[in-house]
Structure 1
Amino acid sequence: MIIEIPNSETIELKNIVFDYNGTIAIDGELIEGVQTYIDELSSIFDFYVITADTYGSVEQQLQNTKCKVIKIEKDFQDIKKLDFIKKIGSANTLSVGNGRNDRLMLKESILGIGILQDEGICTETLMNSDILVKSIFDVFEFLKNKNRLVATLRN
């Protein structure tokens, strides 16, 4: 997806990286409707879910979803998420998260979205975000209608 932002840069999004808990899941359970959106948009974007899997449920919850699950060790999660963004290409990656361990990933990505749902958002992560949304479904609507992103990011 090419996003031309008036008086700013043009962004080409290829990768979408989600944190798991607090972003697309609450207390280890995938939020109802998330799978449908990921599957629907998987022909346009490569979806990744990166997590230390606090509840041990990510693989079971996402087993039939068109995304790649990246499990990381519990130590230095922020650095591991940052390294992953660099590996797949930060210039073409939108990332979404809420925890302190997401702050570097959001800052490194061409577009970082902080999400304020049931688990809240870490202030450092908020400050490293380009956009703050109230629901994961707001992110999917951005991906379905790029003019929403343009309206939010234009100068």
Structure 2
Amino acid sequence: MAIKVDIPQRGIIELQHAVFDINGTLAIDGIVYPEVAERLQDLAEQLTVHLLTAGTHGNLPELEKALGFPLHVIHRGDEKVRYVQQLGSDHVIAFGNGINDTGMLRLAMLGIAVLTTEGVAIRALQAADVLVYSPIDAIDLLLKPKRLIATLRG
């Protein structure tokens, strides 16, 4: 499974893994945004979906059920970086909004900062390749890859 995108002046990238932070990215106050689970299921037909969380709101079973994927509990940014490294960063697109997402956003082939009502840490924004307005917009970058081409062309 992979998504191949030919970005002018950048070349062909082959993505195999989508790594998402949860709180502040796919959920707010521990509640998953509407339509996110459905979009993730669509995305899982093309990429392996990985969900990382520190469990800030303590509702891991509810989040796991709502999202439909297993959660990986990771507390620090360096753990997220190692997770992306183990997957092979050249084939990873990472999504996040917090300071602890900065390293994985920078390391991944593509880093997507997601702006929600929780906000985006400036360091995460600076590490990202693209800023999007919502988790739906973030997932749609992959479901509609011409959006990535339009944004990232040289």
The one-letter code of the counterpart of 1:41 is: L
The superposition leaves residues 80-113 of structure 1 with CA deviations (integer Å, 9 ceiling, x where unpaired) of 0000000111111100000000000100000000
Consecutive unaligned residues of structure 2, counting only runs of 5 or more, are none
Consecutive unaligned residues of structure 1, counting only runs of 5 or more, are none
Output the CA distance in 2 between the equivalents of 1:67 and 1:9. 31
Aligned residue in 1 for 2:26: 24
Output the CA distance in 1 between the equivalents of 2:119 and 2:66. 28
Q: TM-score by structure 2 length? A: 0.94
SS of residue paired to 1:67? coil
Aligned residue in 2 for 1:44: 46
Is contact 2:36-2:67 (8 Å) kept? Answer: no
Output the CA distance in 1 between the equivalents of 2:66 and 2:99. 29
Is contact 2:32-2:66 (8 Å) kept? Answer: no
**How far did 1:124 drift?**
0.6
The one-letter code of the counterpart of 2:65 is: Q
Aligned residues with identical type, % of pairs = 34
Aligned residues between the structures: 152
Is contact 1:19-1:102 (8 Å) kept? Answer: yes
Residues 1:34 and 2:33 aligned together: no
Output the CA distance in 1 between the equivalents of 2:26 and 2:120. 14
The superposition leaves residues 49-87 of structure 1 with CA deviations (integer Å, 9 ceiling, x where unpaired) of 111111111332222644331112x3xx11000000001
Aligned residue in 1 for 2:9: 7
Aligned residue in 2 for 1:131: 130
Runs of 4+ residues deviating >4 angstroms? none
**How far did 1:9 drift?**
2.2
Residues 1:118 and 2:120 aligned together: no
Aligned residue in 2 for 1:90: 89
Is contact 2:97-2:119 (8 Å) kept? Answer: yes
Output the CA distance in 1 between the equivalents of 2:29 and 2:88. 30
Is contact 2:32-2:67 (8 Å) kept? Answer: no
Q: TM-score by structure 1 length? A: 0.93
